[in-house]
Structure 1
Amino acid sequence: MAVESKDLFVEVPGGQVFVRQWTADRSSGVPIILLHDSLGSVEQWRSFPEALATATSRNVIAYDRLGFGRSTLRTSPAEAGFIDEEAQIYLPAIVAALGLSHYVLFGHSVGGGMALVAAAISGSHCAAVITESAQAFVEERTLSGIRDAKNAFESEDQFSKLTKWHGERASWVLAAWSEVWLAPAFRGWSLDPYLGKVRSPVLALHGDSDEFGSCEFPRRITQGVHGLARMEILSPCGHVPHREREGDVLGLVQRFLVENGIA
């Protein structure tokens, strides 16, 4: 199945976000919107969006959050409410610009938290949510992983990996992740205020060896949401299942959408 991609920029409060859409032959049904992780970007999804479009016969959309990738540079420090902000301000602006009435949200890592918050506030517009390695609260394993990564990025070689994807935005991107999550004021954060408001079906994917969070995260998510929910633990697998176990992730997503009648 052939897949074509199209790039565009969308105006949002504070600048422009870079958006890429993948369209498969004979694609139909509700499109899937990808929400990237704390250091991520459209390009860092690599081959997965095209594979997802092919496996599900749906349009797939990904975007660089403001300050990331090819989107407008941000200079002011990220704030503790950045997850709610994405769900309440930026994602709705993109959805409106693309003229989408319904969509499936697929969020990796913190993008999974954003997807659940967005589902909680968007009502029936969100047909389903797939979280992958999503944090549900602040766990010591998460903080330890962030500290280790922050220390590693002090190496010029390691930091160059960030600049490859984010250019001059790289320092802001790293600080937006590490400084917020490691701040004492953020220790009380969780998805609990939103989970009970999620009515759409939820698939929570998690690696058994995820260095940024235990399987308590998907368990909290699936037990807390109001709608139908399923947890799938991939083994052996770390924090990036769509790269480490792409075939399994594609199969689970396709089956989940079919079983829940997501047209």
Structure 2
Amino acid sequence: MKTVSIHGTRLEYVRLPSAHPREGAPAIVFLHEGLGSISMWRDFPQKVADATGCEAVVYSRAGYGRSDPATLPRAVSYMHDEGLAVLPALLAELGLDSPILFGHSDGGSISLLCAGGTDTPLAGVIVMAPHVLVEEVSVKSIAEAGVAWATTDLPVKLGKHHQNVEAVFRGWNDIWLHPEFRAWNIEDYLPRIQCPVLAIQGEDDEYGTMEQIDRIAAKAKDVELVKLADCRHSPHKDQPQAVIDAVLAFVERIVDKPATSYERVKRIRFSHCDPAGIVFYPRYVELFNEVVEDWFADGIGIDFHALHEDHGLGIPTVRLEVEYLAPSRYGDLLTFRLRVAEIGNASLKLEISASAGEHLRVRAQLKVVLASMETLRPVPITEEFWRPK
């Protein structure tokens, strides 16, 4: 088993290549449940890898499996700490660019926090039995798990997968039953998720109701729900084929989709600024146009020169709304993010934002139209537009 050091803590991980690798498919990173580890996934990650053509990357969080111990008792913010700090660092250290996160239970919550609370590029998020709030059924079942821990062979069973099983159980059980944890909620992060989400829940889940994934669908932008009958808290165990089928369809959608998002880092130059050293507001419009041009070249695969000269097409902006939120200064590095919000018959609605680290500086909505350079009339956007020769 390989290990990687994240913030001074050694985490075990394994990379599982697909038996049928698919060109261009992102890696899938598996995040286990509150009592889980690499070994508790058993052969499920490999089955997903083989079915989808994606590499599977599986790791154990601190305190689990054979990873280094975690600091106990856990804080109410323990999943925030994992999703906002540890997971982004792990993905960067392993060189995983725009992977799909696949989280179960606590791992699902951590995945949502990473997607909605950081700038980590992600191709998608898959969550099984995630938590976005604390329900009474969750507290009741976790309390019952404490009874099972004291009266059954549960410690022996879990002990096969963890080097300190007592710390694993106490770390999970104690914080979930702590009175302060009743107010834990991550719904504010959901509207900020930019990638597609697949949310899977069993109808017989003893740790949460359909309210969990229904709230994800209500607040995140692009969510597909799968609700499984005859299924408890571990859909990959109770309904493995149904889960694999849903994951395969989700991966195919991601791999085959047009380039509907794009990022570009730009440095604020002297020419962008007024005498006070602050970006002169019309210069942002020029920067937005540069980002759109870069997206065409790098994301879609056709530069503006070829679009104009070889295809006789232009992409004029017909509507622009800009919200200036904070000043940017000479030398700042801004991350520009473009997202296709809507595809019309001949038009694209684009959302563009610029941030310095976690601080949003400006955001805009643009409507551009694909038009004939000869007639200056709109031209329908076809499938060939997204995949030029």
Shift of 1:75: 4.8
CA deviation profile, 1:218-243 (whole Å, cap 9, x unmatched): 10111111x21111100110000011
The reply on whether 1:62 has 2:69 as its aligned counterpart is no
Whichever residue aligns with residue 220 of structure 1, its letter is R
The higher relative CO (CA closer than 8 Å, separation ≥ 6) is in: 1
Shift of 1:109: 0.4
Where is the strand percentage greater, Structure 1 or Structure 2? Answer: 2
Shift of 1:87: 1.1
The size of the alignment, in residue pairs, is: 255
Q: Distance in 2 between matches of 1:22 and 1:210?
A: 29
Counterpart residue number, 2:185? 190
In structure 2, which of residues 105, 110, 124 is the aligned counterpart of residue 114 of structure 1? 110
The reply on whether 1:180 has 2:175 as its aligned counterpart is yes
CA deviation profile, 1:38-62 (whole Å, cap 9, x unmatched): 0000000001011000010010011
CA deviation profile, 1:56-109 (whole Å, cap 9, x unmatched): 001001100001001012353111111111012221221112111210001000
In structure 2, which of residues 231, 237, 240 is the aligned counterpart of residue 237 of structure 1? 231
When residues 174 and 14 of structure 1 are mapped into structure 2, their CA distance, relative to the original with a 3 A threshold, is farther
Q: Distance in 2 between matches of 1:143 and 1:177?
A: 12
The reply on whether 1:202 has 2:197 as its aligned counterpart is yes
Shift of 1:260: 3.8
Shift of 1:155: 2.6
Secondary structure of 1:153's partner? helix
TM-score (norm 2): 0.63
When residues 174 and 205 of structure 1 are mapped into structure 2, their CA distance, relative to the original with a 3 A threshold, is same
Counterpart residue number, 1:136? 132
TM-score (norm 1): 0.93
Q: Distance in 2 between matches of 1:26 and 1:92?
A: 28
Question: What pairs up with 1:1-263 in 2 under 5 angstroms?
Answer: 7-27=1-21, 28=23, 29-123=25-119, 125-155=121-151, 157-167=153-163, 169-225=164-220, 227-261=221-255
- Segments of 5+ residues of structure 1 without an aligned counterpart are 1-6
**Rg larger in structure:** 2
Q: What is the identity percentage for the equivalent residue pairs of Structure 1 and Structure 2?
A: 33
When residues 14 and 151 of structure 1 are mapped into structure 2, their CA distance, relative to the original with a 3 A threshold, is farther
Q: Distance in 2 between matches of 1:12 and 1:123?
A: 18
CA deviation profile, 1:169-204 (whole Å, cap 9, x unmatched): 211111111111111111111121211111110111
Q: Distance in 1 between matches of 2:120 and 2:8?
A: 28
Secondary structure of 2:75's partner? coil
Q: Distance in 1 between matches of 2:71 and 2:81?
A: 16
Whichever residue aligns with residue 84 of structure 2, its letter is Q
When residues 190 and 18 of structure 1 are mapped into structure 2, their CA distance, relative to the original with a 3 A threshold, is same
Q: Distance in 1 between matches of 2:134 and 2:225?
A: 19
When residues 156 and 245 of structure 1 are mapped into structure 2, their CA distance, relative to the original with a 3 A threshold, is closer
CA deviation profile, 1:120-167 (whole Å, cap 9, x unmatched): 134461110111011110000000110001110013622111211113
Secondary structure of 2:2's partner? strand
Tell me if structure 1 keeps the 8 A contact 2:123–2:254: no
When residues 193 and 99 of structure 1 are mapped into structure 2, their CA distance, relative to the original with a 3 A threshold, is same
Tell me if structure 1 keeps the 8 A contact 2:115–2:122: yes
Q: Distance in 2 between matches of 1:124 and 1:262?
A: 21
Whichever residue aligns with residue 185 of structure 2, its letter is S
Q: Distance in 1 between matches of 2:250 and 2:47?
A: 16
Secondary structure of 1:16's partner? strand
Structure 1 consecutive aligned stretches of length 4 or more whose deviation exceeds 6 Å: none
Shift of 1:26: 4.5
- Segments of 5+ residues of structure 2 without an aligned counterpart are 258-389
